Amino acid sequence: MYEAQTYELILKRMLDRVDVDLDKREGSIIYDALSPAAAELAQAYAGLEINLRLFSAQTSSGDYLEYRTADYGVTRKAATKALRKALFFGKDNLPLEVAVGSRFSIEKVNYQTMERISTGQYSLECEIAGSRGNQNFGTMLPIDFISGLVRAELVDILIPGVDTESDDELRKRYLQRVRQPATSGNAAQYRQWATEVPGVGDAKVFPLWAGPGTVKLAIVDTEKQPASLTLVDEVMKYLETVRPIGAAVTVVSAAAKGVNVSAGVVLASGYAIQAVTDAFSASMEAYLQEMAFTGTYVSYAKVGTLLLSTPGIIDYVSLTLNNGNANVALRDEEIPVLGTVGLGV
């Protein structure tokens, strides 16, 4: 709105107000007197432009965005710790019991046992918050001595750790709140309740799915992947505390629909097929994450566009999705996940 209020324009307007019989050339007394004032006014207009953008949730950021969203009860989600599953083995590869509270390390990240799942299987919580706790798999080393321990393996992600919510994610939740009001246990409110649980990336609500008074939710984790049983249980427990009286709620994980891609490609000079495949796979994963609960099919044309947008690919032939030359349909509870990627030259 105030972009046009530049130093030059303001100074010109000020000089135009001075009588034409007076010397207004650069270096004159009048020019030198007005020039600093014009510079300060231009800076003030720039500040007004910034404040105007910070006022709107569409263009705001940081603390100012939080001030705006807090008026509607939407606050930035803090980083959460990953909950992982680990296996412990003793002599002769037999499952080993360990004490709750035992600490282990892998790749300079520490985990602590929280609860026994079954013989030799425990849930572990990462000691640092954020997605860093999701990245490691494999052999852990005990921080303290554990009698009889031969091997400790970090395996599944039960509830993924989440980084502090970004401005874009916070803005998306805010706009969802104001554009799709959640009230009286409607579908929008069930979705809001589900996404309030740490580790949940999104939810799809099916009202009256098994008759009057029934509600079903399919959920995904923050990586837009099928949710673990632990995460499903956490959402169910939370919904039991907030749902309307009399509502029968069912929570399930979204079902993964694998999308296998195959194509012949023409490479630009200096590019290797593996590097191109890796870049295309990353683009595909981002696209499929965007499609989780938002689309009814994976677009054949869109995948072709992603191929042509991949650095190093000049053209392609014989593109197939799941061995076909058409869109890949998604059922109501399905989300697309990347399967195999086979690119050849």
pLDDT band for position 88 (50/70/90)? very high
* pLDDT at 176 (0 to 100): 85
Q: What is the pLDDT of residues 196-228, one digit of tens each?
A: 898 999 999 999 999 999 999 999 999 899 999
Across the range 232-261, mean pLDDT stands at 94
Across the range 51-78, mean pLDDT stands at 89
Across the range 225-248, mean pLDDT stands at 93
Residue corresponding to tokens 């004159």: 28
Q: How far is CA 289 from CA 106, 169, 255, 283, in A?
A: 28, 14, 14, 10
Instruction: Give residue 48's identity as a one-letter amino acid code.
Output: L
Share of the chain above pLDDT 70, in %: 100
Rounded Cα distance, 171 and 169, in Å: 5
Across the range 294-308, mean pLDDT stands at 95
Checking if the pLDDT of 136 tops 90, the result is yes
Rounded Cα distance, 263 and 50, in Å: 48
Rounded Cα distance, 193 and 202, in Å: 10
* pLDDT at 4 (0 to 100): 83
Instruction: Give residue 66's identity as a one-letter amino acid code.
Output: E
Backbone angles phi, psi at 78, to 5 degrees: -80, 160
* pLDDT at 302 (0 to 100): 96
Tokens of 327: 């869109």
Q: What is the pLDDT of residues 2-50, one digit of tens each?
A: 778 899 999 999 999 998 888 888 999 999 999 999 999 999 988 888 8
Q: Where are the domains of the chain?
A: 7-55, 81-159, 181-253, 256-343
Across the range 315-341, mean pLDDT stands at 95
* pLDDT at 98 (0 to 100): 96
Rounded Cα distance, 147 and 272, in Å: 50
Across the range 160-164, mean pLDDT stands at 93
Across the range 310-317, mean pLDDT stands at 95
Across the range 62-87, mean pLDDT stands at 93
Q: For residue 72, which of 178, 197, 195, 187 has the smallest C-alpha distance?
A: 178
Strand pairing of 255-267 and 334-344? parallel
Q: How far is CA 110 from CA 101, 133, 141, 143, in A?
A: 12, 9, 9, 9
pLDDT band for position 73 (50/70/90)? confident
Tokens of 69: 């969203």
The highest-level CATH class for domain 81-159 is mainly beta
Structural fold of domain 181-253? GMP Synthetase; Chain A, domain 3 (3.30.300)
pTM of the predicted model, to two decimals? 0.74
Checking if the pLDDT of 61 tops 80, the result is yes
Task: Determine whether 273 is exposed, middle or buried from the number of CB atoms within 10 Å of its CB (0-12, 13-18, 19+).
Answer: middle
Across the range 67-96, mean pLDDT stands at 94
* pLDDT at 127 (0 to 100): 96
SS3 (DSSP) at 135: coil
Rounded Cα distance, 86 and 120, in Å: 8
- What's the whole-number average pLDDT of the chain? 93
